[in-house]
Structure 1
Amino acid sequence: MLDWPEYRNELMGRIGEIGKLSPGTLAGYQTLSSAGQKTGHLDAKTRELIALAVAVTTRCDGCITVHTAEALKHGASKEEIAEALGVAVALNAGAALVYSARVMDAAAAYGRAATA
């Protein structure tokens, strides 16, 4: 397994390099990243738990290390993190089921085209 705190430090260094080379890109990301905080509809812990579920579904290790640290900082328990991850697992399974239906639809369409 990774040394997640060390990975986060290395990642932030590399992102800092990108920021120096392309400051607008980093500024744009920071604007998007902080936009939701301004509404105040969700607390920081809830936002971080959502971010962790999304990090799993998008398979982003950088997101995992950053948002795990932030979720813990905002008081998320391991049980709350596990529940959020359960949502991610269910959504990934659901998405696979939906796309399986699309495959069956495509197979039926090809079957109709072959007999036409």
Structure 2
Amino acid sequence: MNYYDSNNLKKIPDLIRLAPEAAQSYLTFEHEVYEELKAIPLRTKELIALAVAHVTGCPYCIDTHVKKFQSLGGTREEIFEAVLVATCTRAGAVLSHATHSLVAYEEDRTQEQQMSNEVQPKHKPDCFC
């Protein structure tokens, strides 16, 4: 099975039939965002969408939004620059979240020192997620 076969998209009507009201809500929302809201030009919306599609890793969305952007006069250079912006932003988010690792590391050492002076419970969960 090829998970990213474009023929899989032919199954979308089947999905819509499974939850028609929810599907219609999504389709209405999508139409409003792309067609009715006018603060951002459609060409820019498609460029944003294709950058986001690269972050989410959806090959269907990448294909769709690249083709729509291209039909609106978008260039390969703009596409790649948008992908680089998405890449840089994602990398920056990972880097800034690394501060939590340092805080957790420092917190653990402080807690360990405090707990060594107290009676510790036998079973303590490591994580609540």
The answer to whether the superposition gives a TM-score over 0.5 is yes
Superposed, which structure 2 residues align to 1:16-95 within 5 Å?
16-37=13-34, 38-95=36-93
- CA deviation map 1:19-66 (0-9, x unaligned): 122212221221222222312111111001000111111112221121
Identity of aligned residues (%): 29
Larger RCO, structure (CA 8 Å, separation 6 or more): 1
Q: Give 1:115 deviation, angstroms.
A: 1.0
Q: How many residues align?
A: 111
The runs of at least 4 consecutive aligned structure 1 residues that moved more than 2 Å come to: 34-37
State TM-score, norm by structure 1. 0.85
| Residue in structure 1 matching 2:95, options 94, 97, 112 | 97
Over the residues paired in the alignment, what is the CA RMSD in angstroms?
1.9
What one-letter code is carried by the residue in structure 1 that aligns with 2:48? Answer: I
Larger radius of gyration: 2
In structure 1, C-alpha distance between the alignment counterparts of 2:53 and 2:23, rounded to whole Å? 19
Tell me the residue number matched to 2:11: 14
* Structure with more of its chain in helix, by fraction: 1
Q: Indicate if the aligned counterparts of 1:48 and 1:68 stay in contact, CA closer than 8 A.
A: yes
State TM-score, norm by structure 2. 0.77
